[in-house]
Structure formats: structure tokens, C-alpha cells
Chains A and B, each alone.
Chain A
């Protein structure tokens, strides 16, 4: 019997050792192998931006065959941070990885997981640096050091159904009061004026962010504790959100992001506040929408802030501070920001180039894109998504949640602002 046991143990050990042996040896010959980490699978995805990135990876591996090779590490969005943290903690930081701007990026920069690219951009690769749009590095610069490279950016606008507007006989609103009026008329005519999602909190928060900014909120002052969340601007903005929310579709409280967008492209709702990435999704799902979809800038609040500021968001790549293949990583970054990649982003992905002089073919690109482009050329300033502009990821969620509570009627605007204020007092301003 003992023998039997022993043989079982031995068999187990043998299985174990073959497993070990089957781990392939990675580096082979001269090829420099790097990894790139991303938050979507490159094959199964329907996301047009992700597909564009997949194309960049293919081009890179073809062009640098025999010299460099990049292997993507992909997760889904929800598990991305967890996996990236584990890899960094284990000293296996991917050579290049994608990251949201704002507090999320702060974490990696502060942990020393991102390489300082200032020197490279200013000296070795000054020509490349010169191709970028002015000011695009602002959100990626920490104490004067460039810590990441953008690959594209998206802008948030209001999309509207021109057919419905014509039918009801309303014009594009330029002020908040006009917006309310338009909503009322659309509603009287039996349409859902605005499609929004509170199930996906950032969608609601995007409208809240616009309202806060139009009202004149100053996030820098908040960060420095020169302003309070209980100030009138925020209470006013939250009150307007509440007011506007009566024009949302009845199921807005539970609808997800996808559903809210679908309500717009299925022509159930007249307006949608969304990032420009939704363009590709809309047109892909319903061909008719391209011809009847107009775009306008989020309306102004009279007597308050500059109405030409836009919400924008960049996708950024950081390079590992511990990479042994800096040249390969930089070559990859260049591939992401070359004209082919940038053209694709604009013409297909619905995101905007971060380099100057891209020859976008507006015949090919979705029509909405040029409308957004027009609005952008008028823009006088940018600000980020509110949940990515506050002092920590948690603070961003706290703001989003407070706005959802206002929408659901669980809190008055004053109470909601107080909740964010309380969070800041306990966690941020110490």
C-alpha cells in the first residue's frame, strides 16, 4: 500500500515538473520583446477604438519584425487596475500600459511606476514631440516632467435628432433656459427629450460636470480649499441637474450607458450627452442616424461662466520606469501617434488626433465628427471628466454618487453638495 501511495506522489510530482517545463522561454535571439497592457480584448471587442489599437500592434510587429516584438496583455476594464497593480507589485510592470488621466495616473506616477519622458521628448525625440498638438501634454505633466504620451482624445457634446427638432419646430438651444424650453416642447410633442443613464454613473455625471462648469465652478480652488462644495455654484448646478432630469427617459434611473445611447440611435429620444466615441457605435447600430444626427455645444448658463469650454479626455500610454527596452517602447509609442493611427482614430474611432497636420478625410469620417470638430475649433478651454478631475478616484466616485442621489431624489441639492463637502473634509483637506 505504501508503494501505491508513493507512486501517486511521484506521479503528481512528475505532472508538476512537466508543467514547469512547459513554461516557454520568452526571449529568443536578437528580438527585443516588450509587453503592452490594455483594458479590452483586441480580438473579441466591438469597440472601434480598441480595434484601431489592435491594428497599431499588428503594424508594429510587422514593421519591426526581427528587431522588436510587442505582446499585448489584455483584461477587461473592471479588472484592469487590479491586474496592473499586481504586476507592478511583483516587479513585472508591463513595458507600456494605458492609463486614464487624473487621479488614476497620479497613483502610478507617485508609485514611481512611470518613466520620466521629459528628456526624451525634449532632446532625443524633439521632432516627434513637435508633431503633437499644443497643450496636449498638460494633463500628463507632473512638476514639469512629462510622464506619459496621449494617443487620442475625445470630446463630450450634445447629439440631437434633427428630424425631431424640425418636426417640433425648435432650434438648437444656446442657453440653459432655451434648453429647458426645447425639452418642454419635445416632451409635449410626445418625445423623450434627453436620453441619459444613471445606471452608469459617469453618464449622469457628465451632464453634472457641464452644469458645474457652466455655472462657474473652479476645481483648482476646490483642490486648494479656497472654495467649498457647499458654495452656491455647486448647489445651483445640482438644482439644475434635478430640473433637467425630469426630461430624461422614464427608465433613466436603471438604464446602462449602452441603453441610453441605444435610446438615442433608435430614435426614441431627441438628445444625448455623450463622448465622441459613441459616434461609431451609433452609426454602426443604425445607419439612418448619421444623416439626422446633429451636434451642439452644451448650452450656456446666462450670466455665469464662459460657455465655450468643453469636456475632453485623453487616452494615455505610460512607459514602465523599469523597462529594459526603452527604444522598443518609444518606437511603439510613435506607432500609436503616427498619422495612420491618428487618421483611423478620427475617421473610424470617433476620437480626435493628438498630433497636428492630420489629413482627415471627412468624406469617409462620420458626419458627426466634423460637427464636433467645428465646435471644438470654437472652444476656448478644456476640462476633464469631473470624476477624473478631482483629487482621488474615490473623490470622483463620491461626486458621481452625490449626483445620482440628487437625480433619484434621495438627497436635495444642498444635501448632496454637503456629502461631497464632508468627504473632502474627512479625506482631502486635512
Chain B
């Protein structure tokens, strides 16, 4: 703590200033397109075509209301949260279990098993789409949220296992050894040592899993037919028609769709960084 204070009181070195300028310019490159999207979402279509980069002539807040109603975004938001939430929890849990066995336990096939799971990351979804859909249709799993969760969980597993294996491997072996001497079983080692210490891993892989599934379009589009069970990315495509695209409402819908993720991400990440640093010091 003391050291940190000393540091911040020091005048900024030129290098740091250059870095700040660089970072700030980069931030502009990141924010400008997104702000533009916000500005478009408040225009009307002819205005967009005539002067896309100008600020909106009049603020069409009703774009949001219409997008919300026409796109049935309320139901879609619920479905997305539900499907992605369950997927997140289940895939992190299953993934962490498998990763723990691969990273920490001693058996001949552990390396091979990891490679096996890794292959999953390389399979293009497009190509297994039809066999998968046919199989699910026979099982009566299409057009249900559960049917969508199953492939989502499965496709999230390789990434989770891949990342978690790395994090479990970086936990010092002595921790488990001393726990074992204290009489800890393997399950307690997993739940009480490995899981809490791999918080960073959970955060990183959880974030990736959640975001991937949150934005996933193809499976959701093909699997779900009932409008009441559609997820957000599917509803965003509603605004693209065969001959005319309703740009402004689409952008409004996109803003609505990304807002929760952005807010949750910003809130969540600050706490996590804190936990991450303390966790690292402990480790």
C-alpha cells in the first residue's frame, strides 16, 4: 500500500504521457463508431440516407419504443438471459470439472483428452448444423430453449476446458499436497482449493462463453421457430427486409441489445480486477 502511494505522487514521466496520448487516441477509435451508432439510432431513415454522419435533426426516441415493441425485445431479452445464464453456469461447472481432472489428476490419457476437447473448437458450426438439427428434431428438442442450451453448452466446453486447464496448472502443487496431508479428499481439493483459486479463470472463460452465446445467431435462428422463444440476435435480424432495411430501428434494437452486456461487464469487471489482484498476491 505504502509503495503504491509513493508511486502515484511521482510526477508523470514523458513515457507515461506518450502512453496516455496513445491510449486516448485508441479510445477515440473505439468509441467514435459506437457513438455514431447511437446517433443513427435516433434518426429516421430518410435522414440517415441523406446525412449519415450529421447529428440527428430531430431526436426520434420513438425508434427505441418501436424497436422494443416490434422486435418483441422484452421476450427476447428474457430468453437470451435465461439461455445464456444457464449455459454459462453449466458449462463453467462441467468445464472446470473436466479441466481439473486434466490439469491436476494423474492418468495416462489426460493429455489426449485435452486434445480431444480442443478439436471441438475447430469444428465449424455450419457443417454440423443439419445433422444436429435432424437429431434434435427426432428427440423433440427443437423449438425449445433447452434444445438450444445443449449445443451452446457443448460448444462452450472446449474453450472453458482449454482456459481452465491453464489456470489450474498455475496453482502451486504444494497447496494440494498440504491439503491432502490435512486429510482433504479429491472433491474437497476441487471445491475448496481449485475452484476459489481459479476465479480469474472463471471470469475470463465465463465472459468469453457468455458473449459468444449472447451473440450467437445461426443455431438460434435454425433451432427456434416460435417467436416467444427467440433470442436477441435473431430479433435483430427482423429489421432487415427482403427489399428494404429498417436501419434506424435496427440500430436502436442493437443498442438495446448491447446495453445490458456493457453495463454488466463494466460493473462486474471492476470488482473482478480487485479480486484478481488480491488473489494473485495470495497465490
Contact = CB atoms under 8 A, between A and B. Distances in A.
B239 A258 contact: no
B146 A259 contact: no
Nearest to A8: B93
Given A46-B246, A90-B137, A266-B50, A83 B221 contact: yes
A86 B144 contact: no
B117 interface: no
B222 A258 contact: no
Interface stretch (A15-23, A130-138, A156-164, A169-177): A15-23
Contact of A82 (B50, B93, B129, B227): B129
Given A20-B146, A83-B221, A91 B137 contact: yes
Interface string B137-150: 11010111110010
Given A1-B185, A75-B221, A41 B238 contact: yes
Interface residues of B, number: 47
B191 interface: yes
A85 interface: yes
B212 interface: no
A79 B221 contact: yes
A411 B149 CA distance: 48
Given A23-B140, A90-B138, A43 B72 contact: yes
A281 B45 CA distance: 11
Contacts of A47: 241-244
Contacts of B225: 35, 73
Interface in B17-72: 45-46, 49-50, 67, 70-72
A12 B246 CA distance: 41
B151 to A, nearest CB: 13
A430 interface: no
B218 interface: yes
A41 B225 CA distance: 12
A19 B246 contact: no
A235 interface: no
Interface string B234-254: 010111111111100100000
Nearest to A39: B242
A40 interface: yes
Interface string B174-198: 0000000000010110010000000
A130 B267 CA distance: 67
A49 B130 CA distance: 31
A277 interface: yes
Interface string A343-380: 00000000000000000000000000000000000000
Q: Which interface residue of B138, B218, B242 has the most chain A CB atoms within 10 A?
A: B242
A40 B49 contact: no
A12 B146 contact: no
A43 B239 CA distance: 9
Contact of B46 (A20, A40, A46, A285): A285
Contacts of A86: 129-130, 133-134, 222
Given A89-B134, A90-B134, A77 B240 contact: yes
A111 interface: no
Contact of A89 (B130, B146, B240, B244): B130
Contact of A90 (B50, B133, B217, B240): B133
Contacts of A49: 242-243
Nearest to B185: A1
A286 B137 CA distance: 47
A41 B134 CA distance: 24
Contacts of B72: 43
A393 B93 CA distance: 45
Interface in A248-265: 257-259, 262
B86 interface: yes
Interface in A16-49: 16, 19-20, 22-23, 35, 39-41, 43-47, 49
Given A79-B222, A82-B221, 4 more contacts: A46-B245, A47-B242, A77-B242, A79-B221
16 contacts: A2-B187, A41-B239, A44-B238, A44-B249, A46-B246, A47-B244, A49-B243, A75-B221, A82-B218, A82-B221, A90-B138, A257-B243, A258-B244, A262-B50, A277-B243, A278-B243
